[in-house]
Structure 1
Amino acid sequence: MNRAGSRPPSNGSTRGRPRSAAVEQAILDGVMNLLEDGVPLGDLSVERIARTAGVGKAAIYRRWSNKEDLFVDVIRAAESAEPELPGTSMRDDLVVLLESLRQRSLVRRLLAILINAHAQTRSSPKIWAAYHAGVITPRRDLGLAILHRGRANGELRTDVDLELAVEMFVAPLLIPSFVSHDPDLPDGLAEQIVDAVLQGLRPVNS
């Protein structure tokens, strides 16, 4: 796959680059729209993607050698940056992190990508590895960093397994997303989860 190398030099003009960027975005949006409509990744053909995006098949083949590479870029394009944390306390940071995860789980497009990425765990380890590296790991690392600061500040017991604690916080949001395509994740759920879990993780004298 060679995107930049396939584009001709601008020769002082940038007219060609916006068109190339627009085509690429149209293809990514086309895949996202199909996934959002409930089409499994395995059922997506280059012909169908091209038709949905309004481009020729050659435009897809010039950018991606296979559907795996295309879907990896779809994952990267769909995900937003991690939230800015207030830094006022471990609880406040956790609430912001979980609220961001709750909001993401309510976006049909992101939910469809999550379900498809998980479904490809066995048939396409490359896709799941890309999702894990680009989405799960950064979010998990952010959660661990919050808990490490909380433990250093005396907001968390020193004997708490931080890896397990991260899972305790995020599982109530992730499990409904996998079970239901329209998960019930009401306002205030982030605060409810954080406060419930922290009851068992705070120092006894807090």
Structure 2
Amino acid sequence: MTRSSPPPADAPRTAGRRKDPQIDSAALQATLELLAEIGYAEMSFSKVAERVGVHRPAIYRRWPSKQHLVAEAVGSALGHDPTPDTGDLRADLITGISTLVDSFEGTVVGNVLPALVADLAHHARLREDFLASVFQARRDSTARRLRRAAAQGEIRSDFDLEFTMDALAAPVYYRALFGHAPVTRKLAEQSVDLVLASLATR
């Protein structure tokens, strides 16, 4: 009988994944707490496991790397369905963008973002996972609201959806990354108003 080859180093460890949702939730919360207390560089699986009260394998079986754990924790703080549909397009878009403002200014996410973005640039698998599970999920929420507004004649229909979603969030991400100016709700309102002005029906 031949021995099977070991999995690649970057292959996800799926054994035990999602067997206990309480551990997943506790680990994500512990990660955010540790990021706030000791920072991205010092946070480790061992420290998360100690904080949660489980053995280290219970953590690394769920996430293939520390970076994956941090990315999912950041995603849990940002939320995956930020833009509601209340019938007021401006208010809905402001609500969606304000979830970024709240996360960057009210949690550790803003401090972690530069390091996480750097890791996304150097790890293709991590980038793909983050874009699929966090980034795209948030954009889908906004896209649905914009499509409905276009279908109802609130905004013109011949607009570039991808560019519009970039334009809505870009000022908030830019300030969060470079820290040259505050990230505020007013910024969210300014971004939305600028975009809506470009989408006005003729």
Counterpart of 1:3? 16
Q: How many residues align?
A: 189
Counterparts of 2:178 and 2:73 in 1: how far apart (Å)?
23
Paired residue for 2:10?
A: none
Distance 1:98-1:67 versus aligned 2 partners, 3 A rule: closer
Q: In 2, distance between residues paired with 1:127 and 1:78?
A: 18
Output the TM-score relative to the length of structure 2: 0.72
The question of whether the paired residues in 1 share the 8 Å contact of 2:83 and 2:141 is answered with: no
Equivalent residues in 2 for 1:95-110, closer than 5 Å: 95-110=94-109
User: Alpha-carbon deviation of 1:179?
Assistant: 1.1
- Matching residue of 2:185: 187
Matched to 2:34, the amino acid is L
* Map 1:88-167 → 2, pairs under 5 A: 88-167=87-166
1:72 deviation in Å?
Answer: 5.1
Q: Match of 2:195, as an amino acid?
A: V
Q: 1:23-82, CA deviations, whole angstroms, 9 ceiling, x for partnerless residues?
A: x544433322232346335x5444444455555434434545543554454345444352
2: distance between equivalents of 1:175 and 1:163?
Answer: 17
CA contact 1:90–1:149 (8 Å) conserved in 2: no
Residue segments in structure 1 that go unaligned for 5+ positions in a row: 8-16
Separation of aligned partners in 2, 1:77 and 1:97 = 15
**Partner of residue 35, structure 2:** 35
- What's the TM-score once normalised by structure 1's chain length? 0.71
Deviation at 1:152, TM superposition (A): 2.0
SS of equivalent residue, structure 2 residue 120 = coil
User: 1:21 aligns to what?
Assistant: 22
Cα drift, residue 190 of structure 1: 2.6
Deviation at 1:202, TM superposition (A): 0.6
Q: 1:100 to 1:174 in 2, by over 3 A?
A: same
Amino acid at match of 1:132: L
Aligned AA (1:139) = R
C-alpha distance in structure 1 between counterparts of 2:158 and 2:57, whole Å: 57
- Letter of the 1:148 counterpart: R
Q: Using the alignment, how far apart are the partners of 1:76 and 1:186 within structure 2?
A: 20
Work out which of the two has the higher radius of gyration on C-alpha atoms and give 1 or 2. 1
1:171 is displaced (CA, Å) by 0.9
**Runs of 4+ that moved beyond 6 A:** none
**Is the 2:77–2:103 contact (alpha carbons within 8 Å) kept by the matching residues of 1?**
no
